[in-house]
Structure 1
């Protein structure tokens, strides 16, 4: 696929598209599978778990919003850190995020397949559940097919992939709204299920491990900043999209958890585990024409959730790779824009290759926790970037400035580190290994540039025609 670097990314996404990228990632499969697990750990206080996670992630969201308004460049956290810290720190930031997004993509693809099979069995076999152990080849084939389809869409058109994300996200939000509406009016819904909030066997300390378990459900607004240059009027629309997506997601999560506990009870919901929401829907929802019963509706929503989350991380991972390539920290071809389609096609395909290899060969469930660890670490570095940028460049143009500075970034650092404590030492060990490999890769790339007679990334990028300067965008 021929491409060259004479074009800048096209600003084809509006405020709604940017917001849906964030919500598409946050309201993913997590709300369907993590609610029961949170209830098992924290009991009725699971509603506090999701509310507190919303507060924790908002502190970092404020940092992302301020940095995006001041540094309107694609690449998300990597672009911000690259502006503030040195080459090695920014490379490791991009190295972490690229890996985390690609592994998350493989997880979403593998999550889509069994939900899709379950949906087929419900509709075509009269509600008979899918085999508990579906053939691995079928699961893998469906996962790879989903990746291939969304990669092709993203490579051909950013606007089309953004539109698909918007439509699919609105569908799954509508499904959850239907679930909440029926739940609040159901005869079996009772506020007594929340009394006491901490029954025997549960204490407030249980909130912390439950928060660590479900925090991944709030990772997603950061994806919005990976497409900054492809959003119209990014200095205003990126912060708006971050706050709208966060607020809407917290409201949806809170309502869903209240209904699930209020109808099924925390004990029964916890016993159901990953199928908790489906069990709750089955207990009170009537059969809906075409869609079927409550369980079928939830599985239908899970299919759309995994697809939108997968599409969002295809977008995000490729933009991190694109930004790193443009800055000379990955192969220069990664930082090129396709001459015909106006997309970072090489970066998209490279990210897709890693996702495919992850689906086929990596013990994805085990390294999935590593993705969560890297997100927490990246949030710590982003909060630190706000503090350092404020100190070193106090007069920098910041269309959005967070309130009560420096309280939000300091709290963001402390709370993200605290949640990281509850991640296993095995995951931390894997993280150290991956970062060590990143140091080796960075050193190798720098050595290669020196051998070619240029030690400065910008000089090499200019020479190869891949240093794509962001064009100023007109405000709407």
Structure 2
């Protein structure tokens, strides 16, 4: 068997993107981001959403051109025809996937510790191992789990919005205890929350009519999650002091405790377990599909064994196992903010290359059929791709200068 099973439609693809974005962001990094920027976390969310959206449009168009599991790699390879550039893209995305998976697994441990006394490191490792097993079992089971868990995590965020909606007027959204640097730093951390849209493209070979479905899924996932993020962020700083949020290992549970008492805190803590579990699962899936894609015989980026598909499960079992194994060492770093920062840096390097790839392909292959075309153009020049390129370079420079 050398092909994956096409099981996903638009709904499933949007749910995958939504589950990945929401789980990785709000439940994992909200506290630390609020701790560096205060009430202006809402502004940081808007800035991060803008940066993610312009690059997301590049992904949407490129996914309609090349609906392959290789995703970013195949885009850069076709644009520049230089193995070193495309190989760096593949390696960067793989590192981003495993590092992000480790960061969210650590967030899972943080929420679980509110219920029982557990080892953060070993609990995170255990959740990675379990999700690797589900990933191996098949895309059908993974999809069912994803839909169920995404519904639960969205319900939890709606509860937070409902709890805080009556206090929105008290939020000091212009409060910047660390000035512009704090707003930018928080935006950089929050950018980790948007990594999901780039991973949707890795499901192209398991999606029906991928040239149309995947671009739509990217746009819809980004739009829906941005709205949720803004309202949750506003509710959080309306109810809880930003310094308290910054010190909390389970920030949304802290918000629920203030607005709804111990019962609310317990409920949100439990929902966060589903959300972070879901995110680890989807990251393991998308990263293993990328490894599967770039290991195909025509590329030779990685040994061809990782492109093999299990005869009965129809999943890339060797790729699944390797991604799970490589994730575990990053769990030992322990610090969610530091791990998320590393994932962001890898992702931003890839974003620079992806936006540059779209700009190049607009001129080198202007007549190639596209299922989606990014808006705002001057002739063949994509304004959104230029904005994505510049903003990604800017965040890389910010990260290096503030390390």
Kept after mapping to 2: 8 A contact 1:269/1:276: yes
- Which of 66, 86, 96 matches 1:90? 86
Deviation at 1:204, TM superposition (A): 4.2
Deviation at 1:155, TM superposition (A): 1.3
Measure the CA separation in 2 of the matches of 1:262 and 1:358.
34
Q: C-alpha root-mean-square deviation of aligned residues, in Å?
A: 2.2
2:193 pairs with 1:217:
yes
How many aligned residue pairs are there?
Answer: 395
Quick one: structure 1 residues 244 and 114, their matched pair in 2 at CA, closer, same or farther if it must change by over 3 Å?
Answer: same
- Which of 22, 25, 30 matches 1:35? 30
Deviation at 1:399, TM superposition (A): 1.4
Match of 1:452 in 2: none
Deviation at 1:57, TM superposition (A): 0.5
Match of 1:23 in 2: 18
Match of 2:114 in 1: 118
Kept after mapping to 2: 8 A contact 1:278/1:298: yes
2:253 pairs with 1:281:
no
Deviation at 1:211, TM superposition (A): 1.1
Deviation at 1:194, TM superposition (A): 2.4
Measure the CA separation in 2 of the matches of 1:363 and 1:101.
17
Measure the CA separation in 2 of the matches of 1:276 and 1:144.
22
2:305 pairs with 1:324:
no
Match of 1:180 in 2: 161
Helix, strand or coil for the counterpart of 2:171? helix
Measure the CA separation in 1 of the matches of 2:384 and 2:130.
40
- Which of 135, 149, 172 matches 1:154? 135
What TM-score do the two structures reach when normalised by structure 1? Answer: 0.78
Deviation at 1:325, TM superposition (A): 0.6
- Which of 345, 348, 352 matches 2:324? 352
Measure the CA separation in 1 of the matches of 2:243 and 2:219.
33
- Which of 234, 238, 244 matches 2:210? 234
Measure the CA separation in 1 of the matches of 2:271 and 2:396.
30
Measure the CA separation in 1 of the matches of 2:96 and 2:326.
11
- Which of 378, 382, 388 matches 2:360? 388
2:233 pairs with 1:243:
no
Deviation by residue 1:423-455 (Cα, 9 ceiling, x = unmatched)? 14697xxxxxxxxxxxxxxxxxxxxxxxxxxxx
- Which of 7, 16, 21 matches 1:12? 7
Deviation at 1:251, TM superposition (A): 0.8
- Which of 265, 281, 285 matches 1:295? 265
Note the residue ranges of structure 1 that are not aligned, 5 or more in a row.
1-5, 122-129, 288-292, 428-476
Measure the CA separation in 2 of the matches of 1:75 and 1:17.
19
2:284 pairs with 1:309:
no
Deviation at 1:267, TM superposition (A): 5.5
Helix, strand or coil for the counterpart of 2:373? coil
Note the residue ranges of structure 2 that are not aligned, 5 or more in a row.
none
